[in-house]
A and B are shown apart, each in its own frame.
Chain A
Amino acid sequence: MSVRDLRGAKRHWVLFGCLIWLTFALFPLYWVAITSLKSPVDVVGGPTYLPFVDFQPTLKAWTELFSGIRGEFFSNFWSSTIVALSASVIATIIGSMAAYALVRFTFRVRLMSGITFFVVAMGGFLFGREVLGIGPATASIIAFCIALALSIFINRFKLPGPVLGNDDIVFWFVSQRLFPPIVVAFALFLLYTEMGKLGFRMTDTYFGLTLAYVAFSLPIVIWLMRDFIASLPLDVEEAAMVDNVPTWRIFFGIVLPMSKPGLIATFVITLAFVWNEFLFALFLTNSKWQTLPILVAGQNSQRGDEWWAISAAALVAIVPMVIIAGLLGRMMRSGLLMGAVK
């Protein structure tokens, strides 16, 4: 039974149902679009639906937005664009590397060395703070470096306890996204301010914000790319291995081009996530590197419920993603692997 087989009245009912849903999905967008064209009087004076019929459209909200009366619009747009693009590119590349490694190589992490890392890192931090009296940032950096080196070193030995494999590592990555972002945001804010005290300014900088986004996007990138790379034919890489192509070239010259559809899909998802992200931007920036979601939210608090202005800002935040998705969508098509094997 398929919708294609429906004839006559049934067919029309299905079409009718689809149209209802389409309206339901598109109406909010339409509402935002016309609200951005309304004057304050039209907005507060009860619902009006059709421009030129119900109300006289005005570009006031838009001119105000672009003239910068309502916050540094261009600055925010610019920082959103730069941060979103660079964080997505970096996260996609690094995440793909990690995913490739997790698919093609076997890792064995002993649970004991993981526990050692945790104990030494936390203990070292507390020891540095309470006993030696050094600053929290310095203490944590030193403790983490020592813990990492130590845990990698002792992982070579036959320790008691279970051995974790690739799937466990992937789950560990994905688990980073299981707890509420606010927890991370607070911790990150504290860490960044502490680093600021040491002289590395991290809050409200391009580097700080991008780094946070890369770190927070990586689990999703690794998870998506792992499935994609796992579906690539191993023979092709083996052929390259026999042909004496070095591993890094196999990755960049063969694996990445073959995973183009997956890379683009992952990139778009990451881009959308970073572009729309609110919480980190709120915590980690305050003026120069504020992003669009902050601007949109700020419209409300600065001068009351000025829906026409909020609508214009919201549209500006939506449109670039729609364009990107439209442009890259056609490159996500499958069929790229045709001819590689069989």
Chain B
Amino acid sequence: MTNIRLKNIEKSYGDVQVIPPLDLEIEDGEFVVLVGPSGCGKSTTLRMIAGLETTSAGKVFIGDRDVTDLRPGLRDCAMVFQSYALYPHMTVKENIGYGMKVRGVDKKIAAEAVANAARVLNLTDYLHRKPAALSGGQRQRVAIGRAIVRDPEVFLFDEPLSNLDAKLRVEMRVEIKQLHRRLKTTMVYVTHDQVEAMTMADRVVVLNAGIIEQAADPITLYEFPVNKFVASFIGAPSMNMLEGKLSGTGDDLVFESDAGASFPIPKSRIPALAEFSGERFSLGIRPEHTSENADVGPKIQIKVIDVEPLGPHTLLIGEVGGEKFTAQFSSRSRPQPDDMVDVYVNSGEVHFFRESDGRAVR
């Protein structure tokens, strides 16, 4: 059993509080991704688990052990860094085996472990090269190999793919996921890339300014974001937000945007929203829930600024009364910049966020 429990951990540098008291439980064998904009405290949280940062208050448990005051080496974590952090003067083989050599593991067992890791990571042909002679992807695999042979209770990844090019990143994503499926070890993964978070995680923890905004599996996060921050952070391209207010009563409840567009509230949402009539709201519409087909739902008129044909579909970057709005059309449609276009919205999929606290109402 190797779960991780963070109990009320805090981090302050002098008077600046980076992370207010934070609670998080990570299950045994779970793949948890901490995601958030830069400076949200995700790396700091990971480093506090690793022991590379001290906690200003609170406790860290790995399994049943209170590791709060243990030095990093005794926590039985393995960590993969964004910068790879390989030992430049050692060959791949020495890099992977160094920890075991220092711990005095039997040479034969160590060599076997290195060979195994190299086979799994396709590094067998490069064992005698130095890191300088490897590509970025190979270097990161060496770093992962070094973590694997540690046979740790917990794997920690600190933005491991950020330095790789886009294609390699997709490949490594799959490799790390496969690794997790095979090893079934608890993994904590930090990234600022929400696509990485969504594709890899059992559970995504969205952090903002040191506070957990929402922790849930990727689909829940996507379909039921609890607040405006999570809604706009998760999903690419990000969710359109129209500011406005609710008005009318009963079945005539409508959302009137400040830009002048009026949007009838779908029947299914009226019971939850009726009591807020008169209050200011943000209407969240994901680009993928818009279409040029008139039969999906109510329409909004946008002024096209730019057209991004992506192949499977085409994105229209436009604006509604000064607010940005991205719509997703089929690739058959060919609007031009400066066109006024009618966008139809699948009203069953829209989100409403109260302006007062940003929370979703559904």
> B87 to A249, Cβ gap below 8 A?
no
Q: Is the CB of A238 within 8 A of B86?
A: no
A62 CB to nearest B CB, Å:
44
Contact between chains at B102 and A249 (CB < 8 Å): yes
> Which residues from chain A contact B230 at a C-beta distance below 8 Å?
none
Chain B minimum-CB-distance residue to A340: B88
Residue A3 at the B interface, CB < 8 A? no
How far in angstroms is the closest Cβ of chain A from B140? 10
Cross-chain contact B88 with A241 (CB below 8 angstroms): no
When the two chains form their complex, are residues B85 and A339 in contact, meaning their CB atoms are under 8 A apart? Answer: no
Q: Are A339's CB and B102's CB within 8 A?
A: no
Residues of B within 8 A of A159 (CB): none
Contacts of A235 in B (CB 8 A): 81-85
Interface residues of A in 214-264 (CB under 8 A from B): 233, 235-236, 238-246, 249, 253-254, 257-258, 260
Give B73-112 interface residues, CB cut-off 8 Å to A: 73-75, 77-79, 81-89, 98-99, 102-103
- CB contact between A246 and one of B51, B85, B102, B136 (< 8 Å): that residue: B102
Q: Does any Cβ of A come within 8 Å of B65's Cβ?
A: no
Which residue in A233, A335, A338 is a CB contact (below 8 Å) of B85? A233
A30-71 contacts to B (CB < 8 Å): none
Number of A-B contacts (CB under 8 A): 100
Residues 314-342 (chain A) with a chain B CB within 8 angstroms: 335-342
B210 within 8 A of A: no
B73 touches A233 (CB 8 A): no
Within the complex, which residue of B73, B134, B139 is in contact with A244, where a contact is CB–CB below 8 Å? Answer: B73
B163 adjacent to A340 (CB under 8 Å): no
Interface hub of B77, B78, B98, B103 (most chain A Cβ within 10 A): B98
Known A-B contacts A235-B81, A338-B131; A243 and B88 likewise in contact (beta carbons under 8 Å): no
Q: Does B128 contact A (CB under 8 A)?
A: no
Q: Are A239 and B102 in contact (CB under 8 A)?
A: no
User: Is the Cβ of A241 less than 8 Å from the Cβ of B71?
Assistant: yes
Given the complex, which residues of A lie within 8 Å of B139, measured CB to CB? Answer: 339
B359 at the interface (CB under 8 A from A): no
Residues of chain A with a CB closer than 8 A to B103's CB:
244
A243 x B150 contact (CB < 8 A): yes
> CB within 8 Å of B: which of A50-103?
none
Q: Contacts A238-B81, A338-B131, A339-B133 given: A243-B102 contact, CB under 8 Å? A: yes
Q: With CB as the reference atom, state the residue of chain B lying closest to A337.
A: B88
Residues of chain A within 8 A (CB-CB) of B136 are 342
Contacts of B84 in A (CB 8 A): 235, 340-342
Chain A residues in 8 Å Cβ range of B131: 338-340
Q: Is the CB of A242 within 8 A of B79?
A: yes
Q: Tell me if B146 counts as interface (CB < 8 A to partner A).
A: yes
Residues of B contacting A335 with CB < 8 Å?
A: 132
Known A339-B131, A339-B134, A341-B84; contact A244-B89, beta-carbon cutoff 8 A: no
Q: How far is the CA of A235 from the CA of B159 in the complex (A)?
A: 13
- Is the C-beta of B183 less than 8 angstroms from some C-beta in chain A? no
Are the C-beta atoms of A245 and B73 separated by less than 8 Å?
yes
Tell me, yes or no, whether B298 is within 8 Å of chain A by CB.
Answer: no
Q: Are B102 and A342 interface neighbours, CB within 8 A?
A: no
Does A257 contact B89, Cβ atoms closer than 8 Å?
Answer: yes
**How far is the CB of A99 from the nearest CB of chain B, in Å?**
19
CA distance A235 to B156 in the complex (A): 14
Name the distance in Å between A246's Cβ and chain B's nearest Cβ.
7
- The answer to whether B98 touches A243 (Cβ under 8 A) is yes
Are B88 and A336 in touch, CB under 8 angstroms? yes
* Shortest Cβ distance from A338 into B: residue: B132
Q: Are A245 and B83 in contact (CB under 8 A)?
A: no
20 residue pairs from A and B, CB less than 8 Å apart: A236-B88, A238-B81, A239-B85, A240-B99, A241-B51, A242-B51, A242-B52, A243-B98, A243-B150, A244-B72, A244-B74, A246-B73, A246-B102, A258-B87, A260-B89, A337-B88, A339-B139, A340-B84, A342-B83, A342-B84
Contacts beyond the supplied A236-B86, A243-B98, A258-B88: 10 A-B pairs with Cβ under 8 Å: A236-B87, A240-B87, A240-B99, A241-B71, A243-B102, A245-B73, A336-B89, A338-B131, A339-B131, A341-B84
Q: List B residues at the A interface (Cβ < 8 Å).
A: 50-52, 71-75, 77-79, 81-89, 98-99, 102-103, 130-134, 136, 139, 143, 146, 150, 156, 163
